[in-house]
Amino acid sequence: MRCWRRVYWLHRLIVIPSLAVALMLMFSCLIVGGIRQWLMGTVFMAAAIAGSVAILGPADGPHSPLLTSIVSILSTGIYICVTAYYSHQQARALMLAKTQIQNQREQSIALSHKLSKYLSPQVWQSIFTGERDVRLETQRKKLAVFFSDIKGFTELSEEMEPEALTELLNHYFNEMSEVALKYGGTIDKFVGDSIMVFFGDPTSRGQREDAFACVSMAIEMRKHMKIMRQKWRSQGIKTPLEIRMGISTGYTTVGNFGAENRMDYTIIGKEVNLASRLESLAEPGEILVSYETFSLIKDKIMCRDKGEITVKGFGKPVPIYEVVDFRRDMGPNRSFLEHEHSGFAMYLDSDKITEKERQAILIALEDAADRLRREEDVS
């Protein structure tokens, strides 16, 4: 009886080394290849055991003493602990690398946003999305080109301190840039008090829509200038500042100009010179456009014939037109009204006024009207 019990325990103990080896193999499969590798390893190991038993037959008796079983268990435990430790170290290293990559990514995004301030948003986006290569290359495109400057800025610069003048100019550029981007314009450059914008590159909505967007932008800039002029007057700036604008549409050369280590994304061509010439000829508050621009926008925008001018680079005199306003804003039902005198300025765009603002404006207008009537009665 004692002998059979001993054989039973020895049979029980001999399974332990086999299980230890199987456990190490399955653990290695999980670490190296995941669930798929573990399943494959399990299947192969089971197939190998079954094959061995089929070929060699089952063992007649135990061949492993108690010491061997104990050593196998200890070895398996040490193997699992060491492997788990190195796996933990690798996981920590991966987490650290992931954190560093995330930090570098955030730094790159912050840096790219800082650099984007030196480029038009459309150009910056086309470069960072890989749509455009940063190399010296140009192409011919039909664009709508816009120039503007401030009439009276030279006189103002002689009256104001440089710091105050810089603040005023930056405020003006910021407001006008928002209008340009609203209509999809590519801001080319600021030179002194001048702004250059073009439509049709890097993206285009078609020649007619590009020209219409450009002129629409100019009309809103002219309206917005009236609001800014009122603010400047309230700040003590008495010099009347007016914006004058010129727009031309035609084929230009657009792309990267300069050197390999310093490029400028801009446009050149006679249409650029024509837009600049129109801007210099415009009266304060006036928008002058070329004939081709007029032909593209005349269905939606009212223009007035201003005759012809001679421009260098053009073989014939160039017909020019003055932009009056949107056709929808002409007549008694127009949404935009303005009135300006010394001591009084009013700018009204009823389409942009909410119901709450409407009541406040009516109260202010009634108060102003009552005050004017009282002063008239006194006089």
- Residue 154 in tokens: 């030279």
Structure tokens at 345: 């300025």
Backbone angles phi and psi of 281, in degrees to 5:
-85, -20
Task: Dihedral sign for Cα 156, 158, 164, 170, please.
Answer: positive
* Nearest CA among 324, 356, 340, 104 for reference residue 348: 340
For the chain, list the domains and their CATH numbers.
2-114 (no CATH), 140-334 (3.30.70.1230), 336-379 (no CATH)
d(CA 280, CA 276): 6
Q: Tokens 């230009």 identify what position?
A: 252
What is the residue-level pLDDT of the chain in tens, covering all 379 positions? Answer: 444 444 344 444 456 667 777 777 777 777 776 677 667 767 766 776 666 556 655 555 545 566 766 777 787 778 778 777 777 788 888 899 998 999 888 887 787 777 777 777 777 777 777 666 777 788 899 999 999 999 888 888 888 888 888 888 999 999 999 999 999 999 999 988 899 999 998 888 999 999 999 999 999 999 888 888 888 887 777 777 889 999 999 999 998 888 878 888 889 999 999 999 999 999 999 999 999 999 999 989 999 999 999 888 788 899 999 998 888 765 555 555 666 666 666 666 666 677 778 888 888 888 888 888 887 777 6
